[in-house]
Amino acid sequence: MELCDAKNRKILALLEKCARMSSADIAAVVDLEVSEVDARIAELERAGVIRGYKGVIDWEKLDSTKVSAMIELKVTPKAEYGFEEVAAKIASYNEVETVYLVSGAYDLHVVVTGKTFQEVCNFVSRELAVIESVTSTGTLFVMRRYKELDVNLLGDTDDGRGKIFI
Closest separation in Å from C-beta 20 to another protein: 8
Q: Does 161 bind another protein (CB under 8 A)?
A: yes
C-beta neighbour count of 159 within 10 angstroms = 6
Contact indicator for 79, 86 with CB cutoff of 8 Å:
no
Decide if residue 166 touches another protein (CB under 8 A): yes
Asked if 19 is part of the footprint of another protein (rule: CB under 8 A), the reply reads: no
For every residue of 64-99, DSSP letters joined together read ---EEEEEEEEE-PBTTTBTHHHHHHHHTSTTEEEE
126 near another protein (CB under 8 A):
no
Single residue of 25, 43, 72, 119 touching another protein by CB under 8 A = 25
- Examine residue 22 and tell whether it contacts another protein (CB under 8 A): yes
Residue with Cβ nearer another protein (14 or 153): 14
**What is the chain's alpha carbon radius of gyration, rounded to the nearest angstrom?**
21
- Cα–Cα distance between 45 and 12 in angstroms, integer? 11
Binding of another protein by 24 (CB under 8 A): yes
Quick note: the x/- pattern for another protein over 31-60, rule CB under 8 A, is x-----------------------------
- Residue 164 sits in the site that holds another protein (CB under 8 A): yes
AA letter at 120? V
d(CA 114, CA 130): 19
Instruction: Look up residue 61 and give its DSSP letter.
Output: G
> Is residue 155 at the binding interface for another protein, with CB under 8 A as the rule?
no
User: Which residues here bind another protein, judged by CB under 8 A?
Assistant: 14, 18, 21-22, 24-25, 27-29, 31, 159, 161-162, 164-166
